[in-house]
Chains A and B, each alone.
Chain A
Amino acid sequence: MFGLDKKDASLLLIVAALVAFAPFLLNPFPEGSAMAQFNAGYPDLMQRFVIFGIFAIGFNILFGLTGYLSFGHAAFLGVGSYAAVWMFKLLSMNVIPAIALAVVTAGVFALIIGYVSLRRSGIYFSILTLAFAQMSFALAYSVLTPITGGETGLQLALDDPRIFGSATTAEGNIPVPGLFGLEMRDSAELVFGSWVFTFNVGYYFAAIIMLASFYLSIRIFRSPFGMMLRAVKSNQQRLNYTGLNPRPYTLAAFVISGMYAGLAGGLMASMDPLAGAERMFWTASGEVVLMTILGGVGTLIGPVLGAGLIKYMENIISKINSDILHSWFAFLPDGLEDLIVTLIYPFIGKGWHLTLGIVFMLVVIFLPGGLVQGGQKLAALFGSKKAKDPKNATTEPAE
């Protein structure tokens, strides 16, 4: 199907089904119950799942296949956001041209930065990309304020030209991004007993793009080009001796992954039309590294899982507070309850970064292949034949 073999096609179908039914799957607990705070089925968070999924898929094409660890990928995401918001300001509130320009701009940036950075490899490559990203961040924050909005960020205004659309709505407000009349923030609600499911236009739009990017990444992984990138990772010297120049391949991978980041940035701006320099800060680049590693470097589904997990943790764990903990452990004797709450408290709420850091370290130490490898190990443990099959749906994480 679509030029994929059976395993990849079924993986794609499973992901498509999960994404399509996410509003149900992520909302398993009825409204108002004690577990309702674990529901992730609200539009804002679901959009973030898929958008960061795209970002991580793109990062994985570079890091997972070629082994080049870029610490400056957020720069492309930021550039994409700025481009998209400028499109909303100048052209119209239609998201298609905005996203197209975001991807192209990010691609051009990636071409320039990649051309320079890829002259070196290993840690030097990481430092070079980091330097470029920090430079972009510093410039966007200070000198380029007329283009980027500086500290306040780039926002829409009532007096923007918007030559193909209306500058204001009939009520005199700033229009919202949409796709031929469908507004990104429109939602339909389905009330089913005490469950409330939200279907958001923006989410489904982003989800369709995510599926397309996922499909593209499967094709890249399985193509001769992908094979070449893997050769770069496993032994660049041997590739050189064979008479092949790896530079065009790595540059292509870098640009593709930069365009994925730009796409994510454009989508982010489409959901909420503002862009700020902090999206380019190096911690944002670190975050996508975390996502990819956590899920599984060099696997197909890993980065999406990692992005989902981190965004889920960020939103859900950080909302838990000590009162909620107390109510969970209320069945225990008082002293024990207090003890357990005190023990868990540093890891929740504002401390979710601590949890993230610890989980990340454990994954790097014990599961270099990320959650996907963990899943495979578990499957092998329970003696399933499928997991022992070397040609399973996910590729072997290299190294």
Chain B
Amino acid sequence: MKRVVITGAGTINALGHSVPETLEAMREGRCGIGPLEFRDVDRLAIKIGGQVRGFEAEGRFNRQQMVLYDRFTQFTLTAAREAIGQSGLEFSGELAARSGVVLGTAGGGVSTWDDNYRVVYEDGKNRVHPFVVPKLMNNAAASHVSMEWNLKGPSFTVATACASSNHAMAQAFQMVRSGMSPAMITGGSESMLCFGGVKAWEGLRVMSKDVCRPFSANRNGMVQGEGAGVFVFEEFEHARARGAEILAEIVGFAMTSDAADIVMPSKQGAARAMAGALADAGVNQDEVGYINAHGTGTAANDKTECAAVADVFGPHADRLMISSTKSMHGHLIGGTGAVELLACIMALRDGVVAPTIGYEEPDPECALDVVPNEAREARVDVALSNAFAFGGMNAVLALRGI
């Protein structure tokens, strides 16, 4: 089996338009959640979100591209440009033929669906733009990345709701580790912050109207975010031979299914995924210094996740740090694991653990070190990134500093 390292990272989300901006915001415990701004927001009960601000398609993309790219694709391409640029890889010949793109998204081009349903239902028009389908399809972002950077190997899109990007990255990791591909572009994106996208979530009655406070006793729900995170996963010897800067090593993963309930999380499913990732990585429990939690800020997730961590780590659960950066950037649904992987890289590489902000009251059911409100300096050797989706589909990645 090959070793797999990360040689490029890119993002755009409510905390910043790049990795350095995002990490700075995480270090400072800044909140990117605020009042939503889009059409008909006054008809929503939930009016807050982690919206990407100051992002203009004009200037980044030409006219033909703008007509063809949904916002989730625009986010993906922006993040991919940063990641691939950092890696220094140029794809041609054999490298291009064997390298591909695996991305996660839950909804794909949600605002394209939303806009065009308006056109035909609300405005009563009987004609839509010819590019509606190629714009909204879930694989549009992965396809455009493949075209932009000449990636001709295995490429596809994974949809497992809130675990989509972790499942995608686990898959890309497998492909590089097995020797199938020398490098893979992976991560995920989501852009559901439009009227229909937020209205759908409102129906479940699990959203907070004011703030996302994971693990806090007075938490009252999740807050949606949007954006993308994209990484270059590269075979270690390939990266070393060309003198690439290595951000971290991916050492293991596991995927499990609860096979239980369509929305309620399961402690066993989450625990099996974390334990599986440790076993796959050949890592002992006590080597793990940081877990980037799924930490949605709902009553159900946070207590279940903490109980699962306690089960897997035993006494070491009280010594490790676990934080939810969703308190800052919101829940990016299918793109969330990708943005959250940045917090793992920061912990391993910079020795800075991102905080759980908005934390006010300890909850006896979440009695772990959740790094409340302020980032912390600490040496972290191994980090886990958790994602537990609706539908009971879980994916956990294990990373090691290098």
- State whether these chains interact: no
